[in-house]
Chain A
């Protein structure tokens, strides 16, 4: 077989990209299209599945197979695909509302089962497509169209949720940080099982500046390194230790003056499709349809 020679251009669909000018999604799309050739996987073996929201338009722009489905359901749909088609590279693109609000149930169960899918959660901490209501990751007190006096909700920490759900791979990246994002994507793609990546993404229309502390200041971007302490926290990173990953997931810019980027957790565990396939492979008995329909007590009528 000849070696695949694909370029970023091969992954661009013929559809005009229709995010707002200046949206962080453009940077993520460009990073992914540039990274995809490195995967060495033929385009037809790659599938992007999304739900609803700004981020969910992502599959339309990728020259791969894709499905823009319904709000929150992408992990469920991707589960059915990944367990029946183990030969595919299945990616889910989601947002904070899609993944953590309406689709929260599907997200935690896909992670719990360790389904072989890569989940990219574009977290802009706002509802963009519906014009600026607060999201489950918005800060308490957030003033939006639906919360004129400020939100009273306590927000989710997406990484802590993923870790709590038993995710085997958890990472964080930043939309405009091309090298950091690409490193994380590389690790994500290499992980067999459910991979969860939170990507800080700026919504320049409804929540502009949310991540400026690291978007605007490259020097403020601090990366996790396995076996090394993170910043001033004193936490020595261990990608295989759940408690460490959880502690690091709770580190915030506001509280700690630094926010970790990179891989929080990476452990190997049999993936859902592998376990299902093993049961099929080990199933006893012949697949004899005539014997099946004629099983049990039978009698003849002449």
Chain B
């Protein structure tokens, strides 16, 4: 008999287990099933930098949070409604985030003395009343999985045990009525070379699914209806995938070959790996000997007429700054992607932060202006990458694309763009003008960009370099007035870059403006919605271009009585707008290595109302 179905508007689930338990895979598959259900969704994979921290330990806990709903949502959710904990450490590390009354699903087989001790439990929380305020489903996941796979030939005991994540996924898929076919297809493809593992994992998944259906432990099944999103064809996408596609699109739009120079670094490596797949698009990926060479090779490729790109995270970007400075003075296109992560030095490699804004703006010797754009959502990474390339090419300048670990790994439904609607980018290489002498630093009067004369072009042979150049001729110059002029011209060129005006989401009666930038768009806007849902008025503006600022920003800031700038740093944009516009803005600043919660933004706005 089918169980009763209860309707929910939204659910937040967190899968948590050992780094080796396959929680990222499980979460990713559940996300795919959920996307195919037509829900809006947002994800937050939260994992340690250690690949396999000691099994069962607190530092080894890997989590994947997914928020899905029948309406449009902006964040992976402040707190989970449901926690799937594969061992005591996963329970302990995540319990404090679960509100009272929340649902917990645990693998009882993992709650043995050894694991309890590793997690720091004196007694089993399943038995000592610790979980009294929660709805606990204690399921012997491992033993049921192993039992179900007993008859599958060719599968080791260890492999059978490892399939327990598929049992959990099957159970959750039943509980929320997810379509399962895509996961079964996925397993068939993933283990295509070992049919016995296909059989084992499919069987584990189905056993979990049927367990939900038949076990008395689960009285109801839940349903979350599809969300009403703008019509179109959708897929789910992470920020790093979107960013990679955006770079390929920019190369196509500009008819330039794409060259990526990169050195592996968390959380940027997946851009290198994604682009390395697309050789059919003529993409050349160069895994360099170091961050410096990665940037240098990209600049060399740009000199030759390619779209040169280098990707990294903060600790790698610092090493590239010398090359970025050279690109500033050579005035060649270059896109530098900084997927920001938490902390100075190595910090917390897998955790997001917005601490690199001032570095990318000012972290070079002398006056070396560089445009900066920051995407606002995972899907926006696609468009931001195209815009970064467009500005780099049009203005012959390095451009920083400032993403972060939250955008990089987080997934959301993405309306697939019609690529024929994307505006072409005009590379406009220089050609010889009769016998007129070539002036490599004679600027376009409109953009102040200099000619991009690539090797191979007859009669435009010229030399460029890091030494100061004479205006127009580009010859080495130590002339004092010329240096002043060139410094001004470089600054004016970047200051004059055309960027779209910042849009404000105004509300009648609002005298507080929330100004956010980059990857915090989702949680900040979710916080703003909460204020509005409470009947209060607040305005929200979100910046994508950090250099130059949109020309209407100053007026906008001065049209509100109070301005709140929430940032995952200690107030970097805040400092810039206070200095630039003499506006008495205040900050909300937290650097926890986790994305903002809508509730904390709500509270910060509330304090100003």
A contacts, CB < 8 Å to B = 13, 15, 42-47, 49, 52, 59-60, 62-70, 73, 76-85, 87-88, 105-106, 109, 276, 279-280, 283-287, 289-290, 292-302
Does the CB pair A280–B467 fall under 8 Å? no
B: interface residue count bin: 35 or more
- Residue from the list A59, A69, A292 in contact with B278, Cβ < 8 A: A292
Residues of A within 8 A of B236 (CB): 296-297
- Are A289 and B249 CB-contacts (below 8 A) given A80-B297, A83-B284? yes
Q: Can you list 27 A-B pairs, Cβ within 8 angstroms, ordered by A?
A: A44-B456, A44-B460, A73-B296, A76-B289, A76-B296, A76-B300, A79-B296, A80-B286, A83-B284, A84-B300, A106-B289, A106-B293, A109-B288, A109-B289, A280-B279, A280-B282, A280-B284, A289-B281, A289-B419, A294-B233, A297-B32, A297-B235, A298-B235, A300-B232, A300-B233, A301-B234, A302-B231
- Are A67 and B233 CB-contacts (below 8 A) given A80-B261, A81-B303, A88-B456? no
Measured CB to CB, the nearest residue on chain A to B296 is A76
The 6 closest A-B pairs by CB, nearest first: A68-B465, A80-B300, A80-B297, A76-B296, A283-B279, A76-B293
Residues of B within 8 A of A44 (CB): 455-461
Q: Which residues between 312 and 329 of chain B lie within 8 Å of chain A, taking CB atoms?
A: 322-323, 326
Residues of B within 8 A of A73 (CB): 292-293, 296, 322-323
B259 in contact (CB, < 8 A): yes
Contact with A along B350-377 (1 / 0, CB 8 A): 0000000000000000000000000000
B248 in contact (CB, < 8 A): yes
Residues of A within 8 A of B306 (CB): 80, 84
Residues of B within 8 A of A63 (CB): 461
Chain A contact residues: helix, strand, loop or mixed: mixed
Does the CB pair A68–B299 fall under 8 Å? no
Q: Which residues between 98 and 120 of chain B lie within 8 Å of chain A, taking CB atoms?
A: none
Contact with A along B51-72 (1 / 0, CB 8 A): 0000000000000000000000
A50 to B286: give the CA distance in the assembly, Å: 21
B36 in contact (CB, < 8 A): yes
- Are A292 and B284 CB-contacts (below 8 A) given A67-B303, A67-B330, A81-B301? no
Does the CB pair B248–A292 fall under 8 Å? yes
Does the CB pair B292–A299 fall under 8 Å? no
Residues of A within 8 A of B299 (CB): 77, 80
Residues of B within 8 A of A297 (CB): 32, 35-36, 182, 235-236
Closest Cβ of chain A to B571, distance in Å, is 33
Residues of A within 8 A of B293 (CB): 73, 76, 79, 105-106, 109
B304 in contact (CB, < 8 A): yes
B267 in contact (CB, < 8 A): no
- Residue from the list A45, A84, A292 in contact with B257, Cβ < 8 A: A84
B91 in contact (CB, < 8 A): no
A81 to B233: give the CA distance in the assembly, Å: 39
Since A78-B300, A301-B226 are in contact, a sample of 7 more A-B pairs with Cβ atoms closer than 8 Å, ordered by chain A residue number, is A60-B476, A66-B462, A70-B466, A73-B293, A80-B286, A286-B280, A289-B248
Residues of A within 8 A of B245 (CB): 292-293
Q: Which residues between 272 and 298 of chain B lie within 8 Å of chain A, taking CB atoms?
A: 278-282, 284, 286, 288-290, 292-293, 296-298
Does the CB pair B455–A85 fall under 8 Å? yes
Measured CB to CB, the nearest residue on chain A to B32 is A297
Does the CB pair A84–B465 fall under 8 Å? no
Residues of A within 8 A of B419 (CB): 289-290, 293
Does the CB pair B461–A65 fall under 8 Å? yes
Closest Cβ of chain B to A55, distance in Å, is 13
- Are A85 and B458 CB-contacts (below 8 A) given A287-B280, A293-B416, A298-B234? no
Residues of A within 8 A of B286 (CB): 79-80, 83
- Are A43 and B284 CB-contacts (below 8 A) given A68-B467, A77-B296, A292-B245? no
Residues of A within 8 A of B32 (CB): 297
A43 to B460: give the CA distance in the assembly, Å: 10
Residues of B within 8 A of A66 (CB): 462-465
Does the CB pair A80–B298 fall under 8 Å? yes
Does the CB pair B301–A83 fall under 8 Å? yes
Does the CB pair B308–A80 fall under 8 Å? yes
Closest Cβ of chain A to B248, distance in Å, is 7
- Residue from the list B38, B228, B259, B460 in contact with A84, Cβ < 8 A: B259
Measured CB to CB, the nearest residue on chain A to B332 is A67
Contact with A along B243-277 (1 / 0, CB 8 A): 00100110010000101010000000000000000
Closest Cβ of chain B to A17, distance in Å, is 12
A284 to B277: give the CA distance in the assembly, Å: 10
